[in-house]
Amino acid sequence: MNSLNTPVIAIHGGAGTITRAAMDPAKEGEYTAALQAVLQAGQRVLADGGSALDAVTEAVRLLEECPLFNAGKGAVLTHAGTYELDAAIMDGATLAAGAVACVKRVRNPVLAARAVMEKSEHVLFAAEGAEAFAAAQGLELVEPGYYFTQARHEQWQRARATAGMALLDHDAAALAARAGNAAPGALAEPIDPDTKFGTVGAVALDAQGRLAAATSTGGVTNKQVGRVGDTPIVGAGCYADDVAAVSTTGTGEMFIRTVAAYDVAAQMRYAGVALDEAARRVVMEKLPAIGGRGGLIAVDRQGNVTLPFNTEGMYRGFARVGGPVSVSIYG
């Protein structure tokens, strides 16, 4: 996509298997509208002269508030039926970063990650310590019931009954379909909710040429208690420097092992590879070589945007200041 040096924001809401069998236009419209609204909000921040950091914070906060996506409200459940959320944010201009892992009571994990970045001397807080830090910063804590959605609960029950293993959020409905026990409506989602990676993320370039990235997730459905994925790991699920900003979604373990987000920026910095090609190598070669599934969104300092994925679909979109909002789901 064109390099225009114009401020731009890109977002994702997870990747996974497309449920071609029963695509419901109404459901598809819901996802499209949600992505459009978030992109417009991010576009406004940038148009008003806001920083890339503020744009990605606001975009991810809104995605966390939206129950359609696996972050904040609408998060997936652990094997124990609990919620454990991860998030990270990074400022490409300064290499400042903040992250939280395994939080169970923070309404907006991305705001906690940002507070860690700006108000502490550390980068990553986990569990109760992260919650205490967020509370001390005046951030809202919620009861675990806040994250509950009927759809995720049923998805978790299917995962436990059918697989007994951890599933990517958007991949979980496909599994139900194969097993013939899909919940009513489960297959109406454009991307199979039982098998998708529903993590959310945003990357942006602002008018000052600064890049930023943020990622937030409930993790993978039916994950073991205490499991931490790639999302809060700087360089794996989220990375930004003065070359590129990257946010990923997919099988977190493989994104950690390939240092996926950093790999995109490193290829560009050290080997002069273009953004598109650097991202393609990670998503289409490096990750599949070890069984990694998912995708990423990335922007470089010229404003080029790329949104590759190796699954059937990925909820994604981008918008330049003064330009149209572009949203896609399928390949």
Closest residue to ligand ASP: CB criterion: 252
Tokens 């225009």 appear where?
Answer: 4
199 binds ligand ASP (CB under 6 A): yes
Which parts of 58-117 interact with ligand ASP (CB under 6 A)? 70
198 binds ligand ASP (CB under 6 A): yes
Of 194, 230, 237, 199, nearest to 217 by C-alpha is 199
219 binds ligand ASP (CB under 6 A): yes
249 binds ligand ASP (CB under 6 A): yes
Closer residue to ligand ASP (CB): 92 or 294: 294
Candidates 169, 194, 206, 300; binder of ligand ASP (CB under 6 A) is 169
Tokens 């909710």 appear where?
Answer: 193
Total residues at interface with ligand ASP (CB under 6 A): 18
Q: How far apart are the first and last CA of the chain?
A: 16
Q: Are 314 and 329 in contact (CB under 8 A)?
A: yes
Helix H, strand E, coil C: the string for 104-143 is: CCECCHHHHHHHHHHHCCCCEEEHHHHHHHHHHCCCCECC
CB of 210 to ligand ASP, least distance (A): 25
Is 199 labeled as catalytic in the residue annotation?
yes
The C-alpha angle 250, 256, 260, rounded to 5 degrees, equals: 75
Candidates 168, 205, 214, 244; binder of ligand ASP (CB under 6 A) is 168
Region near ligand ASP per CB under 6 A, out of 124-132, 138-146, 204-212, 217-225:
217-225
Candidates 72, 252, 292, 313; binder of ligand ASP (CB under 6 A) is 252
201 binds ligand ASP (CB under 6 A): no
Taking each helix axis as running N to C, give the angle between helix 150-158 and helix 172-179, from 0 to 180 degrees, rounded to the nearest 10: 60
CB atoms within 10 A of CB 290: 11
CB of 255 to ligand ASP, least distance (A): 6
